[in-house]
Chains A and B, each alone.
Chain A
Amino acid sequence: MSYTGWIIITGILVGVTCGINGSLLVLRKTAMLADAISHTVLLGIVGAFFITQTLHGIPMLIGAAVVGLLTAYLVETLNQKGVQKDASIGVIFTSLFALAVVLLSFIGSQVHLDTEHALMGEIAFVPWNRFVLHGIDLGPKAVWMLSTVLLISLTVIFLFYKQIKISTFDHHYAILIGIPVGFIHYLLMTLVSLSTVASFNSVGAILVVAMLIVPGATAYLLSDRFINVILLSGLIGGLSAILGYWSAIQLNVSIAGAMATTTGLFFMLAFLFHREGLVIKYFRHRLRSQ
């Protein structure tokens, strides 16, 4: 496959994986916890590098899952100790992220892992980093990693669809009818961490937030079926990746930044023009008053 082809496939995988998992967080009203986790996952990546001295997929995924769960746990604990939810999220993510960035600056230039990379990733380099097994070239590593995470996400959502849906709608009722709500919560946080780390090389730890939250928020405005919100969010994520890549090439700007901007455009259109959107409301109001 061509160089551009691999980049587009990577982008689509980032958009779909983050879109699907992110939509669940928007529905569960924990968008900012996702924001926090996607920042702190950087600490997991840096930590995995310090321990293994390499940037291999598996240690990175484990490090990310550990730090992601730790973030969710610490936020919850502080909240229980009487700190407002907002402020607990703020304290935890800024401190862990700051630690990661400071550690990162000590790694220096020995590996391809620096603050700029952490910030916006470099999807243009993705096709060069190949997965070679027994001398056979199997394509870019990032594509393998993203496909794995997407597959895990789809499996989890398929298996626990009912539990996710009921606990999202009515937390107390879910507890009462015996759904392990804590387990479901941390399971979804793990999926967010895995999505972030798999997308890290392509879009970086900060801009991945856009891919997680914005397609989900857009889909939530457009659909009133749980399953449709999830699927539509994946679709919007994928489309944003393609359009973002294309416009970034035209303007010669950051690909990840352009993808984030594109999600924003989709959101703006949905916000203004969906059934209850501002523009539609305005015209309906004018029609009625005439």
Chain B
Amino acid sequence: MSDYFSIFLSSANFRWVITGSLLLGFACGMIGTFVLLKKQSLISDAMAHAALPGVGIGFLLFNEKNLPVLLLGATLTSLLGTYFIQLIIKHSKLDADAAIGVIISVFFGVGIVLLTFIQQHATGNHAGLKEFIFGQAASLVNRDVQLITVSAIVLVLITMVCFKEFKIAIFDPDFAKGLGIPVSFLNGVLMLLIVGIVVIGIQMVGVVLIAALLITPPLSARYWTDELPIMAGLSGVLGALSGVIGTWFSATIPNLPTGPMIVLVISAIFLISLLFGSKRGIMMKVVQPS
């Protein structure tokens, strides 16, 4: 058993997986900064859950585990779920909370139905589909990780290019419009960035918990800085750190799902920041009361 792990740890595949988790964590942390500022934390959770039925549909269409097809399906149902949330808020007396709750639970339910249907009926090789729920880094093959790595880099680059515009458009949309900044276009870009990072991340972290990678790193970073660029950068670093540590634990201990392990690490980082953060940490208030 330990031989197997030492081989695995030194293997090229494992190095790829660690690189993937590092970049995925960084991209999540950075994009998450804007999700938090735009107060869309729970919508991002809905986007993640709504990706699950897409994975099932993607499999059923071609009866094989073709990753780009699965991820395309995930993207489409995730966007559909987001659209439904807006539709429910706009055309009924339900509030955002209820609309998000309905979409999260129903889309996830449909996803489970599809996955169990595939288990019972599909003839193709469907091993590993279940990993989309809680994530399993060890199940990733090189090609999967390369896809994650390249996509994460692209998403981070797009975020950096739009950084200044995001900042103004989120902080003061009306002012931004006055400056001629295309606010609704930028909102669309941000939504695609969120869906993009969620979709490429679910195989590693799982649909149930990936929202934590978007919410918790920027929240932790906020306790150390008041500057947005530093916050976004730090948030990325904290995301990357938890991605790597969580994946490493999950890969070395059998049966340990990757997503929950990563989330546990980032939660610990949040707790430390909440207590000892230099800007608004609880201990700082004790040391120098305002």
Whether a CB of chain A sits under 8 angstroms from the CB of B66 is no
Asked if B113 and A261 make an inter-chain contact with CB atoms under 8 angstroms apart, the answer reads: yes
Encode B198-210 as 1/0 by CB contact (under 8 A) with A.
0000000000110
Q: Which of A4-47 touch B at CB < 8 Å?
A: 26, 29-32, 34-35
**Cα distance A128–B41 in the bound complex, in angstroms:** 41
Of B10-18, B95-103, B227-235, which binds chain A? B95-103
Residues of chain B within 8 A of A248, CB atoms compared: 113
In the bound complex, do residue B108 and residue A260 qualify as a contact, i.e. CB atoms below 8 Å apart? Answer: yes
Q: Are A257 and B212 in contact, with the CB atoms below 8 A? A: no
A interface SS class: helix
A90 and B120 form a contact (CB under 8 A): no
Residues B110 and A257 in contact, CB atoms below 8 Å apart: yes
Q: A210-B106, A271-B88 are in contact. Are A105 and B215 (CB under 8 A)?
A: no
Q: Is the CB of A259 within 8 A of B36?
A: no
Query: Would you call A253 and B116 a contact (CB within 8 A)?
Result: yes
In chain A, positions 40-81 with a C-beta closer than 8 Å to chain B are 81
Assess whether A146 is interfacial by the CB under 8 Å rule. Answer: no
Find the B residue at minimum CB distance from A92.
B267
Picked from A115, A217, A221, the residue with its CB within 8 Å of the CB of B134 is A115
For the complex, is B158 an interface residue (Cβ under 8 Å from A)? no
Do the beta carbons of A209 and B104 come within 8 Å of each other? yes
The minimal Cβ–Cβ distance linking B275 to chain A, given in whole angstroms, is 11
Assembled-state Cα–Cα distance A105/B105 (Å): 24
The 8 Å CB contact of B104, one of A30, A35, A221, A271, is A35
B164 within 8 A of A: no
What residue of chain A has the Cβ atom nearest to residue B99's Cβ?
A217
Which residues of A approach B to under 8 Å, CB–CB?
26, 29-32, 34-35, 81-84, 86-87, 89-91, 94-95, 97-99, 101-102, 105, 108, 115-116, 119-120, 206-207, 209-210, 212-214, 216-217, 220-221, 248, 251-254, 256-261, 263-264, 267, 271, 276-278, 281
Known: A101-B257, A252-B121. 19 other contacts (CB 8 A): A32-B101, A82-B280, A83-B219, A86-B41, A90-B211, A91-B267, A98-B264, A98-B267, A119-B112, A120-B112, A207-B108, A220-B98, A252-B117, A253-B117, A254-B115, A257-B109, A257-B110, A277-B91, A278-B91
Interface residues of B (CB under 8 A from A): 36, 39-42, 45, 87-88, 91-95, 97-102, 104-106, 108-117, 120-121, 130, 133-134, 208-209, 211-212, 215-216, 219, 255-257, 259-261, 263-264, 267, 270, 274, 280, 282
